Structure 1
Amino acid sequence: MKATAKAHPIQGLIKYHGMRDEQLRLPYHDSISVCTAPSHTRTTVEFQPDAAEDVYRIGEERVSGRGAERIDAVVNHVRELADIDHPVRLESENSFPPNIGFGSSSSGFAAAAMALATAAGLDLTRPEVSTIARRGSSSAARAVTGAFSQLYSGMNDQDCRSERIETDLEEDLRIVAAHVPAYKETEQAHREAAESHMFQARMAHVHHQIDAMRDALFEADFGTAFELAEHDSLSLTATTMTGPAGWVYWQPDTIAVFNAVRELRSEEEIPVYFSTDTGASVYVNTTADHADAVEEAVAAVGVDTDVWEVGGPAEILPESQALF
C-alpha cells in the first residue's frame, strides 16, 4: 500500500479567490490555470497498519499545525473512500522554492492525492482525483489534470472538479519565472476575500473572463489569452489589497519586472505578458521564439530566472523513484 507521484505546480490564468466552503474548499467561481514544468513536487505515501500515527514530512521537516490539518483533510477523505483506517507516512520534496508565489501547494496536494488514491487501491479518473486534491488546495485540483485546466465551481464533488482544456498553445508557451523571494501566506487572504469592497466587482466580470479565456485557448490566440491573464492578476491584487488585512504581496522587484515586460511589448513588439498569483514572484509568458530575449531582459532587473514549459497531469512514478 505504497505509491509515489509527481505533479507540476500551476500558474493561475483566471484565478479563484475566496472559498464559499472552507472545509471542502469550494471556490466562488470557476478558474483556469496552466501547469509549469520541469518544476514539480514528488511525494511518496504508504499506509502502515503497524504505525502508531500519521507522519508527514516536506523536505526534512515534519509538518505540524495548520499544514498538517490540510494534509489530514486529504488523507482522511481517501481513507473514507477506500474504507481503511491505517496510519499514513507521507514524504514530499519540491524541485523549486516554495511559498514565494509559484504554486507549491498546488503541486504538493496534487501529488499527495494521486499517490494516496493509488496506494489505497482506488481506481479513479484524474477529474475524480482532483476532487480529493481540492480538499487540500483548490488550485491542486487543476494540477491533477495538468496542462491548461479548468476547475468548475459547485457545491459537491460531481460539479466541483477539474478538467483539462486542449489547446495548441501547449507547445509554444514559455514561462520565464522571475523569482522574488518574499514569503507569502494565502489562506487568510482567501478567508477574507468576500469582505473586500472589490470582491463583488470581481465576481461581476470573472465569468466573462472565463469564457473569453476558454475561447482564446481553443483558438490558440496567445495574445488574447495572456493579456487576459495579465489583467486578471491586477484584478486579483486589487481584491486582496482591499480586504481587511490589506495584503500587499508585490515587492519593488515585482514592479520592475512588470515594467521590463511592458517595455519589451511596446518598444520591441515582443509577445510577452506578466502574471502573478498571490505572491511577489512573476510569471512572464512568451513564445518559444522569444524566450531567450525575454529571460535576458527579466534577469537584467536583478532577479533569478528559470524558463519553464507546460507541464502535464499528475502521474504515478516507478518504485525506484520513491522517497523512502
Structure 2
Amino acid sequence: MSEKDFIAHHQASIESGNFQWSAPSNIALVKYWGKKEKQIPANPSISFTLNTCKTITKLAFVKKDNKDSFSFDLLFEGQPKEDFKPKIQKFFERIDTYCSYLKQYHFTIDTENTFPHSSGIASSASGMAALSMNIMSLEKALNPAMSDAYFYQKASFLARLGSGSACRSIKGSVVVWGNHAEIEDSSDLFGVEFPSPIHENFSNYQDTILLVDKGEKQVSSTVGHDLMHNHPFSEQRFAQAHHNISSLKTILETGNLEAFIKITESEALTLHAMMMTSMPYFILMKPNTLEIINRIWKYRNTTQIPVCFTLDAGANVHVLYPENVRETVLQFIKDELLGYCQNGQYICDAIGTGAIKIL
C-alpha cells in the first residue's frame, strides 16, 4: 500500500449522523524514538494494546454550505475545550488529502477518557485513534463497498498522522508499526497486527501503571523525537530496534518470559539513555522512578516471579507480569511501590484488543 491508496473516492451522499468509538492507549515494548517527515518512524516498534485506559469519542456531523474550511466544535467530558482545538485543526489539515469530504461537514467532537485527566497517561494515542475510527465510519457510509481490511488499515494510517503511536491503538493485542524484514506486511504508514500466534504465557498479560509524576513533561515527545536527527548514537539505536523486534518475535511465539524481561527492560532504559545523550540532554525519569525499578529488580531476584517494568517518555512505570501471578504482584506493588507514586495512584490494566464501535 502507498499513500495514494488512501485517497478517498466516495459515491454516496449523507446529510447528517453520528458515530461513537472507543480506542485504547498502548505501551511499546520496542520503542519508537525519532521520526522523519509525515510522521514516518525512524525505526519499527512493537506494542501491547491496553484495555482499560481508553478514549471514548462521539462524532456528530451535519452538512454545511461553506466548504472552504474545516468546521468543528470540541468538547472534553461534555465541556468546551478550546485549547485542544489547534491539535485537531492540524490533524484535519494533515489528512485533508486523504479525506476530502471533511470540509463538507460541521463536526461536534465529544471525547472523554476512562483514565483521570492529567494522570500522566498519554492520551494522544487513544484520542487520535478514536477520532480516526469515527472519521472512517463516515467514510464507509459514503463508500459502503469499502472492505473491513481497508477500513482498519486507513484508520491506522490516519491515526498516525495525528499522533505516531496512535496507529498502534486500532487493532490487535500486539501491534507492529514500521517496516521490518521479518514482520509480514509491516509498513511505516500504519500498524499491523502481530502476524504469528502469541504464546499463552502472554494471554491477558497485566500492566499496572504506577503514576510517579502527573505533571507536564519538561521536554515534549515531539522535541525529543527531533533531537534524534543529529544524535551521536541514532544509527546504532535504530539498528538495535530492528534486532530487538527480531528477538521479540521469537519470544512472543515461544513464551520465553526471561528473554521477554531482558528485551523489555533494556528497551525502556535505552529510550531514556537516548534522551540523556542528546544535545541538549534531558532526564524525564524522577528519583522515585529509579526507586521503583530497583525494588522490582530486588523482588524478582528474591522471588523468581517474572515481573518487569517498561517506561514511556516520562516518569511513570508500567509494571508488566503474567496473569497467573497477578494477586502476588499486586500485593508487592501495594506493600512496596505505592509509596513512590504521586498520591499513591496507580491504574490496573491488561492487554486488550483495540478499538470498539459503540454507536
> What range is the shorter-chain TM-score in?
0.7 to 0.9
What is the match of residue 183 of structure 2? none
Distance 1:217 1:162 in 2: 17
What is the match of residue 111 of structure 2? 92
TM-aligned CA distance change 1:245 to 1:48, over 3 Å: farther
Q: Which has the larger radius of gyration?
A: 2
* 1:167 counterpart SS class: coil
> Is residue 2:165 matched to residue 1:132?
no
Distance 1:247 1:58 in 2: 31
What is the match of residue 58 of structure 2? 44
* 2:192 counterpart SS class: strand
What is the match of residue 183 of structure 1? 216
Give 1:57's match in structure 2, choosing from 75, 85, 101.
75
CA RMSD of aligned residues (A): 2.4
What is the match of residue 49 of structure 2? 35
Give 1:162's match in structure 2, choosing from 171, 176, 191.
191
- The answer to whether the 8 A contact 1:78-1:116 is kept is no
Runs ≥4 residues deviating over 6 A? none
TM-aligned CA distance change 1:73 to 1:273, over 3 Å: farther
Distance 2:229 2:324 in 1: 41
- Alignment deviations for residues 169-211 of structure 1 (CA, whole Å, 9 cap, x no partner): 4424111111122322311111222222222221232111111
Give 1:171's match in structure 2, choosing from 203, 210, 214.
203
* 1:271 counterpart SS class: coil
- The answer to whether the 8 A contact 1:10-1:102 is kept is no
Distance 1:214 1:223 in 2: 14
Distance 1:159 1:186 in 2: 19
Partner letter of residue 73 of structure 2?
V
Give 2:171's match in structure 1, choosing from 139, 142, 145.
145
- The answer to whether the 8 A contact 2:126-2:166 is kept is yes
Distance 1:297 1:262 in 2: 12
* 2:246 counterpart SS class: helix
Compare 12-21 and 195-204 and name the one that shifted more. Answer: 195-204
Unpaired segments of 5 or more residues in structure 2? 1-16, 181-185
Cα distance, 1:221 vs. partner? 2.4
- Alignment deviations for residues 303-323 of structure 1 (CA, whole Å, 9 cap, x no partner): 2222211111212113xxxxx
* 1:4 counterpart SS class: strand
- The answer to whether the 8 A contact 1:272-1:284 is kept is yes
Compare 264-273 and 60-69 and name the one that shifted more. Answer: 60-69
Compare 176-185 and 50-59 and name the one that shifted more. Answer: 50-59
Compare 164-173 and 263-272 and name the one that shifted more. Answer: 164-173
What is the match of residue 272 of structure 2? 237
Partner letter of residue 54 of structure 1?
F
Would you say how many aligned residue pairs link Structure 1 and Structure 2?
313
Cα distance, 1:241 vs. partner? 2.0
- Alignment deviations for residues 35-91 of structure 1 (CA, whole Å, 9 cap, x no partner): 1121211011123224882223333323446523443246635532x5763232212
Give 1:263's match in structure 2, choosing from 281, 286, 298.
298
What is the match of residue 115 of structure 1? 134
Give 1:253's match in structure 2, choosing from 258, 269, 288.
288
* 2:330 counterpart SS class: helix
* 1:16 counterpart SS class: coil
Distance 2:43 2:55 in 1: 26
Question: TM-score, normalization: structure 1?
Answer: 0.88
Give 2:327's match in structure 1, choosing from 292, 303, 306.
292
- The answer to whether the 8 A contact 1:176-1:294 is kept is no
* 1:91 counterpart SS class: strand
Question: TM-score, normalization: structure 2?
Answer: 0.80
Partner letter of residue 236 of structure 2?
A
Compare 71-80 and 200-209 and name the one that shifted more. Answer: 71-80
Partner letter of residue 272 of structure 2?
T
Partner letter of residue 94 of structure 1?
N
Partner letter of residue 126 of structure 2?
S
Distance 1:232 1:158 in 2: 21
- Mapping for residues 69-84 of structure 1, pairs under 5 Å: 69-73=89-93, 76=96, 79-80=99-100, 82=101
What is the match of residue 315 of structure 2? 280
What is the match of residue 253 of structure 2? 218
- The answer to whether the 8 A contact 2:24-2:49 is kept is yes
